[in-house]
Amino acid sequence: MNAISKDMSGPLSSFAQRLNDVEGAERQAAIGALLRTGLPDRHVEAWKYTSLRPLSAQEFQAPPAQYDAAQAKSLLDNLLSQHDAVQTLPRIVFVNGRFVKDLSLLPEGMDVSFFSQKSLTVDVQASPDRDPLVALNTALVEDGAILHVAKGVDAGRMLLISLGVAGDTAISFHPRHSVVLEEGARLCLLSLSAGVGPYFHNPVTEVTVGESAKLYHTTLQTEGMQAIALATTYVQVAGHGVYNSFALGLGSLLSRHEVHARLNAPHAQLHVNGAQNLANHQVGDITSVITHAASDCISRQTVRNVLDGHARGVFQGKVLVEQVAQKTDGYQMNQALLLSENAEIDAKPELEIYADDVRCSHGATVGALDDDQLFYMRSRGVPEAQARHILIAAFLDEALSLIEDETAQEYCRAMLAIHFSAERKAA
Amino acid sequence: MSQFLEISGLCARIDADGQEKQILRGVDLTIPPGEVHAIMGPNGCGKSTLSYVLAGREDYEVTAGSVTFKGQDLLAMEPEERAAAGLFLAFQSPIELPGVNNANFLRTAVNAVRRARGLEELDAVAFLKMAREAAKSLSMAPDMLKRNVNVGFSGGEKKRNEVLQMTLLQPSFAILDETDSGLDVDALRIVAEGVNRLRSPDFSALVITHHQKLLDYLVPDRIHVMAKGRIILSGGPELAKKIDQEGYTKFLAEAA
């Protein structure tokens, strides 16, 4: 088995010891795929703008059985205390990638099970062969939530929470979640993540939205500032189904929110909106591949980035319209507000269209704060720092208004306000 | 403190596309407390530049002269400090603030100014009551407080919103930069009444306009004619009628 670790170079070597110990055919196959490709470097087109070098800087251990429970509790309280409506919501809480029953409040109206209790079944959507981060997840996954909403059931609103609690030693966890909505089912899901210390969070989430089902999925990423968070989500939507999502990224030293979505039957709808607010040396990558595989489907994507200090935002958005997908209605927009000379946005919108009767548009804007607006506000007595803040908040607020679930929208607004006030205190 | 507002020898230029352009060439103007003065003049004479320089816009570089406002060196102050000190500029083209709620913005501005003036801040309820009353007196639709600042407002609505801001910020000196442009007669009257309501021994204004019409409603104490970056002529309210009848050319020729 030691032969494997000799073949591991670059970032992959940070997991060498653990990969050596992996057992089971599926996991071995995933390692095989990893060994063929390694973790991607910037010569790989999909990773041209985001480097995984930070993964090489340290070895990531499996999370120890014990963690600082007080710290986990405090992280959880921070997430729950900011909005009354979320405090009493059902929640499934993972600490360092493992389900913690004591912190959770299991939902009713759906089947909940866990990967740890099942033999690992690799869904057809997430393929270790195509995506090395999925391969790494497949090789090292321990746990994850499996949510199943039966036909016609409205399962209400719930939280899926990941807490990373690392001490001096860097750890990594690789949860695998699955969300299935059967025909006509409905769910509002809020995925929250937070943490402290050096850790790597590598979740893979697979979503299946059945016919006429509706999933409202809001992701709030407030990982610790030493954290690396690389999340991959696979979505398939059946006819007349709706996957309406919004991802707000605030934390992490390095983050990637990658969505692969496929509209499988006519009149399916997809919204993959998002926003990120980054400062210092943060890097945040929002990547999506949206495939229209049937006619009369709608996809919408609006992403807004606020970048300060030496922060760098990456937007890669590909819309692929297959030949059968006539009457496709696609829209994609990436906007960035650069607050410093050293901030950077890399935007790569892509349209690949094989059908001839479609309506697809995309665009990108980059700008600084508007001097006329700033002067106007200051001439009304608003101090410069406050005027700047109001304009930044307004820019992000317009994006947040795209969150369909009102509670989730209010919650994100509250969390963003807290993030801003912490930022201002630190400044 | 000899005078309320005293501008002397004011020169300013702007850097336009890498070319420095001198716009103000020695403006002398004194406005005593409680008086409304008007500035008229042809396009490009520097009227709007004067208003921007007084409000503290950074694109303009003051190259000579001084401005004292209530005994303070106005030019040394930040725009927000000028507002707190009591100066208000009603913009010729009010700026849109997408995503910024009008009522929230007004309250933020009012409280920033109150804080700077050592007054207690207003809570949301007290502020809204005050804002609604002021909006009503300007015949503004109630939903204009709920909309984003100036976004989707008609020209007339934007100008009324400026007067609403002025009413709530309670300045002691207001500059109205072509607040009458783009207004129909009814709107003009409402806006003028809004300004007239503020008139008191503690309130002065400088009204920049092209048209005599506004000055019918808002009778000024003095009228100044500006040309090529200087005040070339000052007189009483009767000057407006003369300009309206005879045009600027005659005055410009006389001054030259």
Whether A372 and B83 lie within 8 Å, measured CB to CB: no
Confidence bin at B1 (pLDDT 50/70/90): very low
Do A167 and A310 share a domain, yes or no? yes
Q: Which pLDDT tens digit goes with each residue over B197-236? A: 999 999 999 999 888 888 889 899 999 999 999 999 999 9
Reference A371, options A360, A386, A387, A358; nearest CA is A387
Asked: is B5-255 a CATH 3.30.930.10 domain? The reply is no
User: Could you tell me if A348 and A385 lie in one domain?
Assistant: no
Pair A354, A408 in one domain: no
Residues A254, A385 within the same domain: no
Quick one: average pLDDT of A133-148? 94
Q: Kindly report, residue by residue over B80-129, the tens digit of the pLDDT.
A: 999 999 999 999 999 999 999 999 999 999 999 999 999 999 999 999 99
Q: Do both A299 and A394 map to the same domain?
A: no
In terms of domains, do A232 and A328 share one? yes
pLDDT digits (tens, 9 = 90+) for A362-416: 999 999 999 999 999 999 999 999 999 999 999 999 999 999 999 999 999 999 9
pLDDT reported for residue A124: 58
A365 & A395 share domain: no
Of A328, A343, A369, which residue constitutes the final position of a domain? Answer: A369
Q: Pick from A372, A376, A382: which is nearest to B112 by CB? A: A382
**Torsion sign, CA atoms B122, B123, B129, B135:** positive
What value of ipTM does the predicted structure carry? 0.96
Asked if B70 has any chain A CB less than 8 Å from its own CB, the reply is: no
Tell whether A363 and A391 lie within a shared domain.
Answer: no
Contacts of A51-59 with CB under 8 Å at 24 or more apart are: A52/A10, A52/A11, A53/A11, A54/A228, A54/A253, A54/A254, A55/A11, A55/A14, A55/A200, A55/A228, A56/A10, A56/A11, A56/A13, A56/A14, A58/A14, A58/A170, A58/A198, A59/A14, A59/A15, A59/A16, A59/A17, A59/A170
Which tokens belong to A198?
């050096």
Mean pLDDT of A28-34: 91
The structure's pTM equals 0.90
Nearest Cβ partner for B80 among A382, A395, A397:
A382
Q: Are residues A232 and A338 in the same domain?
A: yes
Q: Quick check: is A209 in a domain? A: yes
Of A369, A393, A416, which residue constitutes the final position of a domain?
A369
- Rounded to the nearest angstrom, the minimum Cα separation between A365 and chain B is 16
Q: Of A328, A345, A369, which closes a domain?
A: A369
CB B187 within 8 A of CB B180: no
Is the residue at A153 inside a domain? yes
pLDDT tens, B26-78? 999 999 999 999 999 988 899 999 999 999 999 999 999 999 999 999 999 99
Average pLDDT over residues A417-424: 88
Regarding whether A375 and A344 lie in a shared domain, the answer is no
Q: Residues A177-215: pLDDT tens digits?
A: 999 999 999 999 999 999 999 999 999 999 999 999 999
Of the ranges A143-152, A379-388, B69-78, B138-147, which one carries the lowest mean pLDDT score? B138-147
The residue of B14, B122, B149 whose CB has the most chain A CBs within 10 angstroms, and thus the best one to mutate to test that interface, is B149
Cβ-proximal residues to A254 (8 Å cutoff; 6+ apart), any chain: A50, A54, A228, A229, A230, A282, A283
Residue B144: helix, strand or coil by DSSP? helix
My answer on whether A198 and A251 are in the same domain is: yes
**Residues of chain B contacting residue A374, judged by C-beta atoms under 8 Å apart:** none
Domain housing A424: 370-427
A46 token code pair: 């999909």
Domain residue extents for chain B: 5-255
Q: How many domains does chain A have?
A: 2
| pLDDT for position A274 | 98
With beta carbons under 8 A apart, name residues in chain A contacting B94: 376
- Per mean pLDDT, which range of A63-77, A219-233, A311-325, B31-45 is the poorest? B31-45
Q: What is the pLDDT of residue A118?
A: 64
